[in-house]
Amino acid sequence: MTDGTTWIATPQSIAFGGYHVVLARGLLPEELAGRLAATVLHGTGHIAVAAGEHTGESLLELMDDTYGDPFDGIGLRLGRAGEWTYAVAYGGWPGEFGPLAPVSRDGAHVCLREYEEENGKPVPPHFEYFHDGRLLSACNLYLDASWGYQGVDGGPATALRLQELLTAAGLPDPERDEREVHRTALGIVEGFFGLSLPQDSIVSGTLPAVLLEPA
């Protein structure tokens, strides 16, 4: 029995502002952190700097002490769950990471779950899955036409099969509560790709952490 991933649809499930979680198969935690650091968009390049073992709260406190405001930096807590490595972002991550395709190079499988919960526009929760530099599937988890697209994008075979499962679950459904749609879509993607995240370790446990600093 695993924790699955639908628990991240709970309001402020990980931290204020939403969640940005990357899972990878075929990468060690330090490899995933280094590859994610290299995708940070602003500045002249970033690296992952070890910051010790932290809870989510203590990492944010460290970032507040380091930058003057935790949202002026980006931190990651790292762990493993079965065959998946995961990186959970804290601080000012919204809009700061570039495409994940390079992270999945050399045969790695890389999956993004992201939701800017406090964005007033509002931004829907988002999912992407890459393998070896190729997008296999991506979707707005509300599956509506907001933000310029609807349905599942990606490689025809994978995207079509995932779309069929989401359609069979009655999505999109504008009459359903968005939180319920969010959880339902997360659950379908989770089952399709075999994903899981350890809730206790992420919410209240201590994990290795890094700060993403300019190189």
Tell me which residue of 206, 208, 202, 209 sits closest to 5, measured CA to CA.
202
Instruction: Decide which of 51 and 173 is more confident.
Output: 51
The predicted structure's pLDDT at residue 151: 86
What integer is the mean pLDDT of 55-59? 98
pLDDT of 77 over the 60 cut = yes
Read off the pLDDT band of 44 (50, 70, 90).
confident
- 177-204 pLDDT, tens per residue? 999 999 999 999 999 999 999 999 999 9
The predicted structure's pLDDT at residue 122: 84
pLDDT of 83 over the 90 cut = yes
- 121-157 pLDDT, tens per residue? 889 999 999 999 999 999 999 988 776 567 899 999 9
Three-state SS for 57-119 is HHHHHHHHHHHCCHHHCEEEEEEEECCEEEEEEEECCCCCECCCHHHHCCCCEEEEEEEECCC
pLDDT of 2 over the 80 cut = no
Question: How far apart, in whole angstroms, are the C-alpha atoms of residue 51 and residue 33?
Answer: 12
pLDDT of 11 over the 50 cut = yes
Read off the pLDDT band of 1 (50, 70, 90).
very low
Q: What is the average pLDDT value for the chain, to the nearest integer?
A: 94
What integer is the mean pLDDT of 81-95? 96
What integer is the mean pLDDT of 94-115? 97
Instruction: Mean pLDDT check: name the lowest of 2-16, 63-77, 104-118.
Output: 2-16
How distant, in Å, are the alpha carbons of 67, 91, 100, 111, 151 from that of 133?
33, 27, 8, 12, 21
The predicted structure's pLDDT at residue 150: 73
Close Cβ partners of 159 (under 8 Å, ≥ 6 residues apart): 136, 137, 152, 153
pLDDT of 28 over the 90 cut = yes
pLDDT of 69 over the 60 cut = yes
